[in-house]
Amino acid sequence: MVKLGLTATLLLGAGYATAAAIESHFGSHWSRRDIMRARDEGLRLIKTSEEDPGVWLTEEEKFEKFISKKIGFMDITETPELENLRVNRVTSDLVALKAFPTGPTHQSVATPLIAQASISNLRTWANALANFYNRYYRGSYASTSATWMYDTVVDVASSNSAITVTKYTHSYNQPSVIAKIPGTSGSVVIVSAHYDSIGSTTSGRAPGADDNASGVVVILEALRVLADSGYSPKNTLEFHFYSGEEGGMLGSRDVMQAYVTAGVDVLAVVNQDMTGYSPNNVIAVYTDYVDTPLTNYVMTLVPVYSDLPLSVDECGYGCSDHASANSAGFPAAYVCDENMADSSPYIHSSSDTIATLSFEHILQHVKFTIGFLVEGSYF
Ligand SMILES: [Zn+2]
């Protein structure tokens, strides 16, 4: 349940907030001039809770205070109005949120597609990602890792000429990558994973194998299977490969702000961040900063489309990119490889290596993802 602050309540009362109302909300904490000046000085606006108006920090301070201590946060410097857009959206009569089905109903379509998923590509892609010294979004390899990401998505999608692949550029030198299988409906179902990584220092070695090469390869393999089969959905299916997650959900916040501003009808977003390290051999579904009906629906798919039992947990504010979709007011869910207590102890270090991954486990996430996309294509 999202707690609405005073300003948000006022906006709710206004029914359909205007640009002027957003402007006045800025004024209650930060003026546009404050934001522009601080940006020019290289400062970043960091939130650590929904109620937090944010604090201005340097990039190094952001790393020392939050990233190195594994404290969840969002960097809202370029997207300070995203949470207000959520309030606009959820109070607008134009938005009628659809109910999700009570469970899976398209196994006859999904099952033969799931049978096409295999481990060999997962290994190849995960090794290529982990072989970057790091994939830090402001580092020396930001751009080269982005080029790999884009080229690989283009290659995977090339078997179906209907699929488009675009780079989404940000204020830093690591674009997000979006592949789109157009449907007969403009409504959109999204699966996502971030491809940047971070180590124990901003320039340190960060193979980012579990966090989050493992999630990226899940989305890539689901795209490969649907592309190779010529799958033609009703709803448009999108595959989002975000940059800058470790910097505070930068890539996903930019994309979600653009989508809500453009009025894109996003039916569901399922994010995966860490899919290959699971001592309990489960698929974990997280229940905070998500949409409860979508999350309950996702929980019905896990035992049908994967061979693994479900685990349920919470991961706090600023946990991963589902939070950006949730901030935008889009139905979001988060699927992971473990509960918090037993998740990989190696992330954000040089020890988050391919050797710690189970590709059998990652394949289970692929099966779930194809199942979700097929079901979602009929929402
Ligand atoms: Zn991650």
Among candidate residues 78, 83, 196, 211, the one labeled active-site is 211
Distance CA(54)–CA(247), nearest Å, equals: 15
- Catalytic-residue membership of 245: yes
Name the token pair of 167: 């780079």
Helices (H) and strands (E) in the chain, counts: 13, 11
Q: Are residues 82 and 143 in the same domain?
A: no
The radius of gyration of the chain's CA atoms, rounded to the nearest angstrom, is 19
- The answer to the question of residue 304 being in a domain is yes
| CATH number of the domain enclosing 346 | 3.40.630.10
Among 36, 56, 91, the domain-final residue is: 91
- Catalytic-residue membership of 29: no
Beta strands in the chain (DSSP E): 44-47, 55-57, 74-75, 164-168, 176-181, 188-194, 236-242, 266-272, 283-286, 310-313, 332-336
Q: Are residues 75 and 214 in the same domain?
A: no
Name the token pair of 44: 């970043």
Among candidate residues 210, 245, 313, 352, the one labeled active-site is 245
- Catalytic-residue membership of 265: no
User: What is the tens place of the pLDDT at every residue in 82-116?
Assistant: 988 877 766 665 555 678 999 999 999 999 999 99
Q: Are residues 22 and 60 in the same domain?
A: yes
Let me know: does 194 contact 145? Beta carbons within 8 Å: no
Distance 66 CA to ligand 1 centre (A): 14
Distance CA(376)–CA(379), nearest Å, equals: 5
- The answer to the question of residue 229 being in a domain is yes
Query: Which residues neighbour 80 within 8 Å (Cβ) at sequence distance 6 or greater?
Result: 26, 30, 35, 45, 54
- Structural domain range at position 49: 6-91
User: What is the tens place of the pLDDT at every residue in 344-360?
Assistant: 999 999 999 999 999 99
**Tens-binned pLDDT, residue by residue, of the chain (379 aa):** 222 333 333 333 333 333 333 343 443 578 888 888 898 999 999 999 999 989 999 999 999 999 999 899 999 999 998 988 877 766 665 555 678 999 999 999 999 999 999 999 999 999 999 999 999 999 999 999 999 999 999 999 999 999 999 999 999 999 999 999 999 999 999 999 999 999 999 999 999 999 999 999 999 999 999 999 999 999 999 999 999 999 999 999 999 999 999 999 999 999 999 999 999 999 999 999 999 999 999 999 999 999 999 999 999 999 999 999 999 999 999 999 999 999 999 999 999 999 999 999 999 999 999 999 999 999 9
Among candidate residues 25, 348, 361, 365, the one labeled active-site is 348
Q: Are residues 33 and 146 in the same domain?
A: no
| Residue type (1 letter), 310 | L
Distance CA(354)–CA(199), nearest Å, equals: 15
Distance CA(166)–CA(146), nearest Å, equals: 12
User: What is the tens place of the pLDDT at every residue in 2-48?
Assistant: 223 333 333 333 333 333 333 434 435 788 888 888 989 999 999 99
Q: Are residues 111 and 244 in the same domain?
A: yes
Query: Residue written as tokens 């969840």?
Result: 72
